[in-house]
Amino acid sequence: MTEWWVVPIWKTVHYIAAALVVGAAGLVDLRIFGIAKGLPLRPLQRLMWWAAGAFVVAAVSGYALLRINSANSLGPPINIAFAAKMLFLVLIGLNDILYVTTGLKREVDAVAAGESTSVSARIVAGVSLALWVGVVYWSRMLTFLAGAI
């Protein structure tokens, strides 16, 4: 049997890792929108390496939580919130792959302190921000939508 204090440990780890991922994405996206314009983007985007590390921690702790509570999984029966969360994470991955492979990331890296970013960079940042809000939404709905369908 799992002890009562095991689940909150995994949840705490998952929460902190998620906060770092969403926090880093949020800070970079906000700078691309022109907030904290005094920051040069090349060093700021290094935050995404921290986010990548935190994402691995979130994935491992998330998998552990999934093993403990199978109601949160893809099922059967399917948890619509979990399916949507995974879909949103895939979309975020695609958005990031496009951001790097189209050369947009390199273009943004060259944006120095006080300079503005291009419209395409702002679109990618907006999509990223919206998808991360979605991931948090579906995560919160996991327990409420388990068994809804």
Partner 1 sequence: MLQILQQWTETSAFFIWLRESPSIWAYPTVFFLHTLGLIFAAGASILIDACVLGAVPQLPLAPLARYFRAVWIAFALTIASGLIMLLSDLTRLDNRLFPVKMGFVAAAIVLTLVMRRRVERAGGSGVTRLCAAVSLVCWLGAITSGRYMAYLQ
- Site residues for partner 1 per CB under 8 A: 4-5, 7-8, 11-12, 15-16, 18-24, 26-27, 30, 35-40, 42-44, 46-47, 50, 113, 133, 136-137, 139-141, 144-145
| Residue 145 Cβ vs partner 1, minimum distance, rounded to whole Å | 7
Residues 2 and 108: their CA atoms lie apart, in Å, by 47
Amino acid at 112: A
Q: Which is nearer to partner 1, 102 or 126 (CB)?
A: 126
Nearer to partner 1, 79 or 139 (CB): 139
CA-CA-CA-CA torsion sign (90, 92, 94, 97): negative
Structure tokens, 97: 């792959």
Burial class (CB in 10 A: 0-12, 13-18, 19+), 144: exposed
Residue with Cβ nearer partner 1 (20 or 124): 20
